[in-house]
Amino acid sequence: MFDALRPQAPDMILRLMQMFRDDPRGGKVDLGVGVYRDATGRTPVMRAVREAGRRMWAAEETKVYTAMPGDPAFLDAMRRLVLGPDTGAAIATPGGTGALRQAFELIRLARPDATIWLPDPTWPNHPALISAVGLRQATYRYFDTATGGLDVDGMMADLERVAAGDVILLHGCCHNPTGADLRPAHWAHVARILAHRGALPLIDMAYQGFGEGVEDDALPTRRLVTQVPEALIAASCSKNFGIYRERTGVLIATGGGDVVQDNLTALNRLAYSFPPDHGARLVATVLTSADLEADWRAELDGIRRGMVALREALAVALRAECRSDRFGFVAEHRGMFSRLGLSPAEVEALRDRHGIYMLGDSRMNVAGLTADTVPVLARAIAQVTA
């Protein structure tokens, strides 16, 4: 049987990580891996999460299963965090990727002939998961490589072509790998198109709190779900709670009633029965404890402001080194990522000549920078683009 298997395509991010580890040069800079790092290069355990773990350890008396959809306290807390007072069917999942997989499985059950529309560009796991489930997919324009901003006209024109019953995957705040976010007016335009075309939004939301703040980042999603009869939201707690290895996520569905919850619960049963609980219980403990939630929001806001400061510093340094505003969009982007618009050859030159690692499409992780490496990167970019 196994002799029929074929090697899988290599993961470019994992390959880049290995290349960085094998590089013996001092002063090398890793801007490829998509995890948050502080000024010391660590991905720390957040204060509120550490205290939540201590409280859990002291109070926990059993490791018996929770409910098949997930711990009710976690599901309620995440609905409140993402949707505010709104409610919806929900299941806990192993990370945001697990939430996406269950979303696509639900779509396959409900509308197997639907086309999933993805922004160009998007993350590699989106088309891979859709293919694995067996659904059709298409892309809509999103990023303008010439300006480093949105291709708003192209995006809206493409969305006007979707069919009733199709699904439009939308990136929540800071989630598109380019760093370019939709503005409130753009979200309103998208909502009008979806309502008119009869399409279902699927919002992939992994960075709530990284853009403009926890509440402001949730507003586009909250407004959108009030303007369409049904919606899906896949939310991850990996980044904004810093619990990457705990694999904690949630899938929320608005509209459809109890039958949607029944089907979501059945999907959990088929995939992994009861979802993992430790990370979910950490999040629920933080979000149901006034002191811990306040501390979490404060620390998260500090992380957000730190990345904004790095963006602004890099934009200033690039303007000085390159003697142009070519990279001014870096300061306008939000979250951890920006696509710089460099050619593959220029990205390779950054790696080979300067020990600076980023993906071949020039996506960089801003959180991989420090105040000391910002001028290093700016000088290197100026040299390879000269």
Active site residue 204: yes
Length of the chain: 386
The DSSP letter of residue 244 is G
Residue in the structure block whose two tokens are 């007072």:
85
**Could you give the CA distance from residue 8 to residue 1 in angstroms, rounded to a whole number?**
17
β-pair type (356-357, 29-30): parallel
Q: Any bridge partners for residue 92, and if so which? A: 250
Active site residue 67: no
The residue from 239, 277, 349, 380 that is catalytic is: 239
Active site residue 239: yes
- C-alpha separations of 96 from 125, 231, 233, 320, 335 in Å: 11, 16, 10, 39, 17
**Could you give the CA distance from residue 295 to residue 314 in angstroms, rounded to a whole number?**
29
Instruction: Break the chain down into helix, strand, coil percent, rounded to 5.
Output: 50, 15, 35
Residue type, 364: M
Task: Count Cβ atoms below 10 Å from residue 164 Cβ, excluding itself.
Answer: 11
DSSP string, 44-65: PPPHHHHHHHHHHHHH------
The residue from 71, 158, 204, 217 that is catalytic is: 204
**Could you give the CA distance from residue 20 to residue 346 in angstroms, rounded to a whole number?**
17
Does 121 sit behind a cis peptide bond, omega within 30 degrees of 0 on the bond before it?
A: yes
The residue from 48, 77, 114, 206 that is catalytic is: 206
Active site residue 331: no
The closest of 235, 334, 271 to 102, measured between CA atoms, is: 271
**Could you give the CA distance from residue 96 to residue 23 in angstroms, rounded to a whole number?**
31
Is residue 58 a contact partner of residue 233, using CB atoms and an 8 Å limit?
A: no
56 dihedral zone (left: phi>0; alpha: psi -120 to 50; beta):
alpha
The residue from 77, 103, 114, 123 that is catalytic is: 123
Cite the active site residues. Answer: 123, 204, 206, 239
